[in-house]
Structures are given as C-alpha cells and as structure tokens.
Amino acid sequence: MLQIYYTALFLAALLCTGFYVFLWHKHFNTNFTLIFTIVPIACLSYVLSSQARTMGEALTAVKLTYMGGIFLQLTVIYCIFDLCGKPFKRWLRIVLFGISGVTFLAVLTAGKLPFFYKSVTFTINNGVCILKPEYGFMHSVYHVELIAAFIAELAVLCWAWIRNRQVSKAVTALLFIPNSVCMLSYVVRKIFHTTAEFVPVAYVLSLVTFLVIAYKVNLCNISDTAIDSMIQEKGLAYISCDFRYRYLGSNEFAKVLIPELADKTVDEVIGYKPSERKLRHFLDDFSEDESNNTFLYTLNLDDDDPDNDEFYNVNVGYLYDGAKKRGYFITFTDDTPNRKYMQLIDSYNEDLKTEVEEKTEHIIEMHDNLIMSLAMMVESRDNSTGGHIKRTSKGVEILIGEMRKEGKIPLSDEFCHDVIKAAPMHDLGKIAVDDAVLRKPGRYTPEEYDQMKKHAAEGAKVIHEILLNTDDESFKVVAENVAHYHHERWDGSGYPEKLSGENIPLEARIMAIADVYDALVSKRVYKDAYDFKKADSIIMEGMGTQFDPSLETAYVNARPLLEEYYSHIE
C-alpha cells in the first residue's frame, strides 16, 4: 500500500510538472523550473525507498530524498526573495549554493563516513525497509539550514506584505502556503516521530500552489508582458543586431516593412545595399552620437499617390542582455494616423489662415475707407482746404522715405506704416468746430482762432472713440498723437499742450512739416499759394523753432520729390 501511495504522489508531481511545461513561458522565473524539476525527483526517492530491499538501495533512496530537501529549500528561498523584490546578490547566491553543496556532499558519505550518519542499521518490517541511523554533526547543520531558511523566508514575506507595494498581495499570500506546509511536515515528523508519509503530500501541494503563483507572477511582470505585447503589436516592428552590425533577428512586422529581411540570415552584416541603406544610416548616426536616436521612415506604397504613404517613427537604442550592452535595437512605430492627421490640420490651418487673412484684409480696407471717408467729409465742410488730407498724406510718406534712407533716426516698418495711415486723420477734430468759423471766407478773429485751435484735442478724442476696441494698439497711439500734437512747436509755443522739443511725439513732428508745407504751397481763401522757393525759406527758417531741427536733412532731401509731386497735381 505504501508503495502505491508514494507512486500516486510521484505521478501527481509529474502531472503538476506537465501542467507547468504546458503553461511554460520563456519569461518564467528560472527558479520555478528548478522547483518543478526537483520535486518529482524528491517524490521518486520515496517510491525507491518503498521498493528498497537492501541497505544500499535504502541509502541511495535516502540520499536522493535529502538531495530534494536540500536543493529544493535553496531554490525556494531564491524564488521567494526574487518574487518579494529582494533578490540575492550574485556572491550570496554562490555562498548559499556552496553551503548546500557541502551539506549534500556530507549526505553522500552516509553509510561510509560519520559526518552525516555516524552509523546506520537496516531492518524490514511488513515488507517496508526501515533505516535507523545515528546522526552526525552535519545532520544538525542540515536542520539549522532548514530553520534559518524558514525564518528568512517568513521575514521577507512579512516585509513584502507590509512594505512592498510593487508585489501582489495575492502572490505574497500564496507564497506562505508552500513555505508553511513544508515546514509543518518537518515539525510533525520530528515532534511526533512519524514516518515520512506527509512530506511528499506537502511537496505536491506546494507544486499546485507554485502553478498558480507562476501564472499570476507572469501577468504582474510588466517588463515581460510589455515585451510580449510589443511583439504581438501589429503597428510595431523591431530589429536587432550586434555592435558589428551583424543581423540577429526581427519580428514578422519588420519583415513586412523591409521585405529583404525575410531572406537575410543571422550574423549577416547589415550593409549599404539599396534595401538596407536607410537601416544602416540609422545605426551609423546613432553610433556616432547617442542623442541622435530618432528618425522618420516613409514607406511608399504607391509612387503615383503620396496619400497612400505610411510613416513610422524609428528609435535606435542599445540591445541589453541584463545590464550589459550587446548590440543595437531598432523599433519602428506606426505613426501614419498621426502624421496624416497633422497634415490635415496643417492644410486646414493654412486654408483657415488664408481665409482669415483675406477677411482681415477686407475689414482693414473697409476700416481705412471709413476713416478716409470721415476725413473727407470733415474736409468738405472746410471750403479752404480741399484735397489737403491726400496731399499731406503724400508729404508724410515722402518725408518718412527720406528719413529711412538717412537712417539717423531708427524707424520700424510698423511705425512708418502707422504714421502714413494716420496722416489723413490729423484734422478729424474739425468736426467739432462750428460751421460759421470753419467755413469763414477770410482770416479768423482771435476768438475764432481760439475755437479753431480746439480741433487738435477734439481730434484725439474722436480717434480714441473710433479706435477704442481695435487690436492694433500701436496704430491707435500714433493716430491720436498725430491729431493731438501736430500743431505743437519745437520751441513750446504751439497748441494745445504747449509741448516742446522731444516731448512732442515724433509722428506729430513729421506731420507738422507736411501740414505746414501743404498750407504754404496751396491756395487758401485768405491767401494765394506761395512758390516753392518762398515756402522752402519759411520751412527752413522754422527749423529749431517751429520744427524739429533733426528732421532738416530729411526735409531737404525730400524737397525735390515734394516739388515734383505738387507740380504734378497742379
């Protein structure tokens, strides 16, 4: 009966190992494989023990049993520490293996030397062989190893349960089972002096538990599951090679992107053939500069239709074996949807930008026409200044052109554009002047002149209201200044604020010259037009008193163009 019992447990252990082989994954912890190898051997030792009929056979079975006990305990402690996030250093693994090896060597001396068994007797009772040994000191060492391993395993399991959030609570709880069951079988056997019937049962229960743990741990291992997910991902291709550019392998999708890889043999160098040139350039660029590790790979499916192109982001990195660099690893990630979406967005933005620019240009044109119409309406009330706003605008344009050529005063494109655009608005304040004064056919009385002078400040107020909600703040400031201060004088005797020198905004100083020049060379109800020579002498006499002397050179250079313009309109 005992032989049948042990044989059944041995077959159960083999069945568990068969299930493990069926579930096996290349990313399984190596210790799992060792456990599922050692336990059937340990169970087999009990079968052999039940069949032993001589001292030699019985000792052989016992040695096999201890081999299972010693190395199984070593493998379990490796496994538990690894799964709990506290893997042993390499040197400590070697030391522990060495201790276990020395203990097993002592086991092998049983029946010959007194290290493990001092002596042993052999009897057969009801067909079952029974060994009665007198234990040596190495047997005590073996028990110390078992107890120490149990305490260490229990300690790290408690630590993982309480402190390590990166370890599954379910896995930690499951690891308590084989550890506790095996130790319980040992304690029961020693305290109650029973035979070994319970030990193989504990082994089989442990294997069942480790089957569950192996499956659970594999899902929790993000690095392993991530690799598997990447391999199966259809939009991801990868290629590996060593540092000599010798091809090591690729997944199926890589062979779809680069069909020539299907015919490439392992260890064949990736060269500069047309099919490999881009791949080699990626590797060369990365080897020269590690920061140069991202590229774009375009797959032309139809030369006649670029819309069918596919785009892949390429990343080049190192191929690692553990922590050691072994070569290069290239990944291709499908970025076609993103690229085409960005192309669509760019196209839409470009169309939208063009449409907005056209609408904005139209609005600006309407805005400018409105301002010009308002200025012309105001001018139509004044029967002495017909065409004044157009002529002064041209005069400002000519003056600014010469100032820019001279370069003495730095002028931005925006400023020049704003001043020329604001020039027609300089007399908008006349809209607030009484018609009796504005349309008087002769010189003003002092009272009438005082009323007329108010047009400068009123013009600034009108422009402020017109441009109140404009986004072009710089133009708004320039336009208000032109209207408000174009009658100020350099010496401070002008109006309405009696500003002097550079306190007068530059745009108003430029406007003042164009405004006065037009008044001099144009016919008014109170005077005839002056000739160019007389007008020039008056302007030049005013430099430093009425006008900004720094503008004198620009005016002098502009004078031929001004005379040509006014001669033409006459």
Which pLDDT belongs to residue 223? 45
d(CA 409, CA 552): 12
Q: Is there a single domain that holds both residue 301 and residue 392?
A: no
User: 206-233 in b/e burial notation, b at 16+ Cβ within 10 A?
Assistant: bbbbbbebbeebbeebeebeeeeeeeee
Q: Is there a single domain that holds both residue 184 and residue 147?
A: yes
The listed range with the strongest mean pLDDT (69-73, 279-283, 358-362, 545-549) is: 545-549
- Biggest alpha carbon–alpha carbon distance for the chain: 151
**Nearby residues of 520 by Cβ (< 8 Å), 6 or more positions away:** 529, 530, 534, 535, 538, 539
The answer as to whether 346 is a domain residue is no
d(CA 494, CA 299): 74
Q: In a 10 Å sphere around its CB, with 0-12 CB exposed, 13-18 middle and 19+ buried, how is residue 491 labelled?
A: middle
Phi, psi of 433 (to 5 degrees): -90, 140
Look up the CATH number of the domain holding residue 315: 3.30.450.20
Nearest CA among 558, 551, 279 for reference residue 394: 558
Strand, helix or coil for residue 245: coil
Q: Is there a single domain that holds both residue 284 and residue 190?
A: no
Range of the domain at 93: 2-226
Q: Report the relative pairing of strands 236-242 and 324-334 from DSSP bridges.
A: antiparallel
d(CA 93, CA 31): 12
Strand, helix or coil for residue 312: strand
Look up the CATH number of the domain holding residue 441: 1.10.3210.10
Q: Is there a single domain that holds both residue 395 and residue 452?
A: yes
d(CA 354, CA 352): 5
> CA separation (Å) from 400 to 39, 404, 467, 510?
99, 6, 24, 8
The answer as to whether 344 is a domain residue is no
Share of the chain above pLDDT 70, in %: 84
The answer as to whether 445 is a domain residue is yes
**CA 517, 523, 525: angle at the middle one, nearest 5?**
125
Given pLDDT bands bounded at 50, 70 and 90, which one contains residue 166?
Answer: low
Of 301, 334, 367, which one is at a domain's C-terminal end?
Answer: 334
Share of the chain above pLDDT 90, in %: 22
Q: Is there a single domain that holds both residue 560 and residue 441?
A: yes
Do residues 153 and 77 make contact, with C-beta atoms less than 8 angstroms apart? yes
The answer as to whether 527 is a domain residue is yes
Q: How many domains, the chain?
A: 3
Do residues 53 and 124 make contact, with C-beta atoms less than 8 angstroms apart? yes
Q: Is there a single domain that holds both residue 283 and residue 395?
A: no
Look up the CATH number of the domain holding residue 69: 1.20.1070.10
Do residues 333 and 312 make contact, with C-beta atoms less than 8 angstroms apart? yes
Residue of 423 and 445 predicted with greater confidence: 423
Structure tokens at 288: 């020269």
Q: Is pLDDT at 462 greater than 90 in this prediction?
A: no
Q: Report the relative pairing of strands 324-334 and 310-321 from DSSP bridges.
A: antiparallel
pLDDT tens, position by position, 203-242: 888 888 888 887 776 554 444 444 445 545 556 888 999 9
Do residues 230 and 236 make contact, with C-beta atoms less than 8 angstroms apart? yes
Which pLDDT belongs to residue 121? 84
Question: What pTM does this model have?
Answer: 0.47
Given pLDDT bands bounded at 50, 70 and 90, which one contains residue 509?
Answer: very high
Which pLDDT belongs to residue 302? 60
The answer as to whether 27 is a domain residue is yes
In this structure, the number of other CB atoms found within 10 A of the CB of residue 469 comes to 7
Amino acid identity, position 366: M
Instruction: Calculate mean pLDDT across residues 466-490.
Output: 87
Strand, helix or coil for residue 330: strand
Which pLDDT belongs to residue 253? 83
Structure tokens at 533: 């020579």
Strands (E), 348-482: none
pLDDT tens, position by position, 359-412: 767 666 666 666 666 666 666 655 555 578 888 889 999 999 999 998 888 899
d(CA 216, CA 211): 9
Of 288, 303, 334, which one is at a domain's C-terminal end?
Answer: 334
The answer as to whether 169 is a domain residue is yes
Residue of 395 and 466 predicted with greater confidence: 395
Q: Is there a single domain that holds both residue 221 and residue 249?
A: no
Of 202, 226, 250, which one is at a domain's C-terminal end?
Answer: 226
Do residues 153 and 80 make contact, with C-beta atoms less than 8 angstroms apart? yes
d(CA 36, CA 62): 20
Q: Is there a single domain that holds both residue 220 and residue 240?
A: no
The listed range with the strongest mean pLDDT (9-18, 234-243, 306-315, 383-392) is: 9-18
Q: Is there a single domain that holds both residue 387 and residue 288?
A: no
**Nearby residues of 69 by Cβ (< 8 Å), 6 or more positions away:** 42, 142, 146
Q: Tell me which H or E stretch contains 311.
A: strand 310-321
Q: Is pLDDT at 60 greater than 60 in this prediction?
A: yes
In this structure, the number of other CB atoms found within 10 A of the CB of residue 466 comes to 18
Residue of 336 and 293 predicted with greater confidence: 293
Structure tokens at 235: 């939009």
Q: Is there a single domain that holds both residue 102 and residue 39?
A: yes
d(CA 114, CA 106): 9
**Rg of the Cα atoms in the chain:** 50
The answer as to whether 501 is a domain residue is yes
The answer as to whether 393 is a domain residue is yes
d(CA 155, CA 163): 12
Q: Is there a single domain that holds both residue 327 and residue 376?
A: no
Say which residue the tokens 């040596």 belong to: 136
d(CA 264, CA 231): 19
Q: Which one-letter DSSP state was computed for residue 135?
A: E
Do residues 331 and 237 make contact, with C-beta atoms less than 8 angstroms apart? yes
Which pLDDT belongs to residue 560? 93
Q: Is there a single domain that holds both residue 90 and residue 170?
A: yes
**Nearby residues of 213 by Cβ (< 8 Å), 6 or more positions away:** 32, 83, 171, 174, 175
d(CA 38, CA 16): 12
Phi, psi of 118 (to 5 degrees): -70, -40
Q: Directed axis angle between helix 198-220 and helix 169-192, to 10°?
A: 170
Average pLDDT, the chain: 82
**Alpha-carbon torsion, ordered 169, 171, 176, 179, to 10 deg:** -160
